Amino acid sequence: MSLRLVGKCLLIAAWLILSGFFIANENLATLRKELKANELNPDQVLKMKSDVQIVADSITSFGLDFYRLLASNAHENIIFSPYNLSGVMVMAYEGAGGKTAEEIRKVFHFPASFQVLGTGFRVLIDRMKMQDGLRIANAIWLQRGYNFRSDYLKKVGSNYQWHAFYCDFLREPGDSVSLINKWVRENTYGRISELLERDSIGSLTRLILTGAIYFKGEWVHHFDENSTEEQDFWVETDKAIRVPMMRMSEALLRYDENDEFQALEISYKWNPLSLVILLPRQSLPSIENRLDFEKWKQIKDRLREEYVMVYLPRFKFNKTYKFRDPLTRMGMSNVFSMGADFSALARTEEPLFINDIIQKALIGVDEKGTEAAAATTSYVLGGVVGNVATSEPKIFRADRPFIFIIQEKITGVILFLGQVVDPTK
């Protein structure tokens, strides 16, 4: 029996421009539209919302686990998308069985119920596609003529909104690479121009999974470009570099501080997405080692409205990751071996397994943004709004390495997660 591969399970986490400040709420009118459009009764809607939360929590839990692993192995800039990586792996999970499925489920914290998983992802994807400035696309690339199971393709199409494309990896590998890279460019607005190299596809490739996510947001309370100036950023306790430091004048933001770190939330214009920055008092390891789901929830629960003066470095960087090794260290080794079970994916006697998982991610943060007329509200889901402090404004000066998280505020799902160690790289 000859060796065969599932192919290269590929993920594209796309370009981000982080610029915005706005607090948005889910209102009753939106819920009524959902009820009418889907012809569901209130109990069904509540069940769907519960399923969405379970899936959102699983993505967030995995993302924080994975960040701790990446951060523990390298003191460098990090950017990846837990949402997109989970979205790609759920496709593999739906086609897996036995030990292979169990490893994926444990590492990615997927619920045991496929019904909950499918419903939760479907509604979450619909929700993300409604957000202004956020674009999400998924595609499954299939070897033409291969015996894929029709029930698998139907399930991934209906639950996860994946679009299927047929290619001839065997006879036209170059054309297949060009087609996939073209899809990548179109769905990241050209920010990621080439994911696959010419030799990425070979005669053993049977299936390629791709996911793209693109986000561009504006600040409502903008950073004044005239106030940006060169300042010190301490990459080490005894080593500083000069960086363009942006300045946001005193603004009402959600904020908390303690002996370990400062936490700041900046929301985006026109959608319920926000950027949360964790700025350690000492070093990144002092908080990154303990940043799990429960710790993250506690941090968000403690955020309060305060007047804050913000200093944040302008930065832009990109990363390419091959996730086979780190996922193996997390307990997902069977997936990458000849003993993998992907029998629910295709009718075949040849062994199928994943060769690698690749993600390219880019992020950029600058001063650009506009004022918004409807930028105030008193209701913020996922936190407590109390009396605004009347003392001197807090100072949030990000002049040393920090963690950043892009989340959807209502479900709390983490879309992007990373750290800035050197804003110039």
77 with 182, same domain: the answer is yes
- Can you give the residue range of the structural domain that contains 401? 225-312+383-420
pLDDT at 376: 14
pLDDT at 42: 46
54 with 180, same domain: the answer is yes
Domain count, the chain: 2
Could you tell me if residue 232 is inside a domain?
yes
Could you tell me if residue 173 is inside a domain?
yes
Residue 328 has, within 13 A of its CA and on its CB side, a CA count of 13
Could you tell me if residue 172 is inside a domain?
yes
pLDDT at 277: 96
Query: Considering the entire predicted model, what is its pTM?
Result: 0.83
133 with 208, same domain: the answer is yes
Per-residue pLDDT reduced to its tens digit, 361-396: 888 888 753 221 111 111 122 223 334 444 688 999
124 with 254, same domain: the answer is no
- Give the helix ranges, DSSP H, for 18-113: 28-38, 42-73, 82-94, 98-108
What are residue 208's DSSP bridge partners? Answer: 141
CATH number, position 392: 2.30.39.10
pLDDT at 48: 60
pLDDT at 225: 87
pLDDT at 385: 31
Q: Give the separation between CA 200 and CA 208, rounded to whole angstroms.
A: 11
259 with 185, same domain: the answer is no
CATH number, position 105: 3.30.497.10
pLDDT at 229: 95
Q: Give the separation between CA 299 and CA 274, rounded to whole angstroms.
A: 14
307 with 328, same domain: the answer is no
The encoded tokens of residue 42 equal: 């209130």
Could you tell me if residue 377 is inside a domain?
no
Q: What is the largest CA-CA distance in the chain?
A: 74
Could you tell me if residue 372 is inside a domain?
no
Q: Which residues of 194-222 are buried (b: 16+ CB within 10 A; e: fewer)?
A: ebbeeebbeeebbbbbbbbbbbbbbbbbb
Could you tell me if residue 236 is inside a domain?
yes
Contact 71, 419 (CB under 8 A): yes
Phi, psi values for residue 64, rounded to 5°: -70, -40
pLDDT at 94: 93
Beta strand pairing call for 78-80 and 414-420? antiparallel
Could you tell me if residue 300 is inside a domain?
yes
Which residues of the chain, if any, have pLDDT below 50?
A: 1-38, 40, 42-43, 369-390
Cβ contacts of residue 110 below 8 Å, gap of 6+? 58, 90, 93, 104, 117
31 with 89, same domain: the answer is yes
Q: Give the separation between CA 304 and CA 219, rounded to whole angstroms.
A: 20
273 with 338, same domain: the answer is no
pLDDT at 368: 59
34 with 163, same domain: the answer is yes
Residue 359 has, within 13 A of its CA and on its CB side, a CA count of 27
Could you tell me if residue 101 is inside a domain?
yes
